[in-house]
Amino acid sequence: MLAPVLSLLGRRLLAAIPILLIVSALLFCVLRVLPVDPAAMSLPPGATTAEVEAQRREMGLERPLAVQYLIWLQHAVHGEFGRSIHYRRDAGTLVAETLPATVELAVMAMAIAGMLGLCGGLLLFRLRGTSVETVGDLVSMLLLSIPEFLWGLILLFLFGVVLHLLPFTGRLSPGFMRPSITGFLLLDTLLARRSDMLCDALAHMALPAVALGLAFSPTLMRVLRSSLFDVYAEDFITQARLRGISETRILLGHALKNAALPTLTLAGVQFGFLFGGTLLVEIIYSYPGMGNLMVDAVRNADLPIIQAVGLAYCVMVLLINTAVDSLYLVLNPKLRVR
């Protein structure tokens, strides 16, 4: 079972290289047509024209675009994405500092979306043929119409502002000194055996993660339900009924396994989108991840950061897609036959 997964991983990683090259080249081109001058921005406002010219030469801005890109690529391969114009720090380091927070949020949200999608899909399917079916259908349709940033605001309003139940800014309450072992806050608090801090961090993550999870669950729900319908048209369900197996066991033990596969394919694409959705939720909850870094960079036209963060998002989406595909291979025995 391991060999096909490994070969898939190998093929995917090879295919990712040209994609990343093209994405980085596109990013580079889009950001170079900007009407801002990175050289002038990296100098104090009183700089003379001669100083700006010297800075331009030093940054290689007078060379052809292709050459500039190759120089940038050469540095990027070594992990150097240039210095942030705004923060005056290495862009790669800034991304590395914020990435763990975003990954934790995304993983938590995916777990919530998966769980809600599974339960909701089963419930919607169970309601088929009853008078509540239309209601369930309309509710899932309404849920589908609420994007993640509206969920973020709705939950913030309800649980943060009206009910005062959960914190809604940042990652930790003031007064906590976060341990830095791996960079992943939840993991660090576990390693440091600080259960009070872990609870605090989880409370801070609850609203953003649920908001994201809620936004991405309805699609999963609806696909799971329609693939359950497809599976129930198969003969083996009728046969299971004739053997006297209970409806619940047919649904959970026989049908669900088969219906899970198409849902998983879609989940791959959805989770890629979900990773992008973290950006908005992070802004709403002032959550210190890549999204806030990105929006700050966009507002300040901080090119090195936009490039590095953009590439980081792309790498994460490719990783998520590969992970879901490998899982698909593990779960689907048909694909394992050579």
Partner 1 sequence: MTASPRALRSGRVLAGLALVLFVGICAILAPLIAPHDPAEQNLLAILLPPAWALDGSPVFPLGTDSLGRCVLSRLIYGARTAMSVAIVASVGAMLLGSILAHVCGYFGGALDWVVGRAVDVWMSFPPVILSLILMVGLGTGLDKMILAIILVDWTRFCRVLRSEVLVVTQRDYVTAARLLGFTHWQTITREILPATLPLLITLLSLEMGIAVVVEAILSFVGMGVKPEQAAWGQMIADARQYVYQSPWNLLLPMLAIILAVSGFNLLGDGLRRVLDVRLAELGR
Other beta carbons within 10 Å of 164: 8
Q: What is the closest distance, in whole angstroms, from the C-beta atom of residue 263 to partner 1 in the complex?
A: 11
Place of tokens 């995916």: 110
Q: What is the closest distance, in whole angstroms, from the C-beta atom of residue 163 to partner 1 in the complex?
A: 13
Cα(39)–Cα(37) distance, rounded to whole angstroms?
A: 5
Burial category of 81 from C-beta neighbours within 10 Å (exposed 0-12, middle 13-18, buried 19 and up): buried
Angle, helices 290-300 vs 91-126, to 10°: value is 120
Residue closer to partner 1 by CB (options 240, 309) is: 309
Instruction: Give the Cα-Cα-Cα angle 160, 165, 166 (nearest 5 degrees).
Output: 65
Site of interaction with partner 1 (CB under 8 A)? 18-19, 22-23, 26-27, 30-31, 33-35, 141-142, 144-147, 149-150, 153-154, 157, 161, 216, 219, 265-266, 269-270, 272-273, 275-277, 279-280, 283-284, 294-295, 298-299, 301, 306, 310, 313-314, 317-318, 321
Question: What is the DSSP code (8-state) at residue 183?
Answer: S
Residue closer to partner 1 by CB (options 201, 220) is: 220
Residue closer to partner 1 by CB (options 31, 43) is: 31
Residue closer to partner 1 by CB (options 108, 280) is: 280
Q: Which amino acid is at 258?
A: N
Tokens read off for 204: 């801070």
Q: What is the closest distance, in whole angstroms, from the C-beta atom of residue 138 to partner 1 in the complex?
A: 9
Residue closer to partner 1 by CB (options 43, 146) is: 146
Residue closer to partner 1 by CB (options 181, 335) is: 335
Residue closest to 257 by CA, chosen among 336, 334, 325, 331: 331
Q: What is the closest distance, in whole angstroms, from the C-beta atom of residue 292 to partner 1 in the complex?
A: 11
Q: What is the closest distance, in whole angstroms, from the C-beta atom of residue 221 to partner 1 in the complex?
A: 13
Q: What is the closest distance, in whole angstroms, from the C-beta atom of residue 164 to partner 1 in the complex?
A: 11
Tokens read off for 232: 């129930």
Quick check: 329 and 268 in contact, CB under 8 A? no
Cα(32)–Cα(299) distance, rounded to whole angstroms?
A: 16
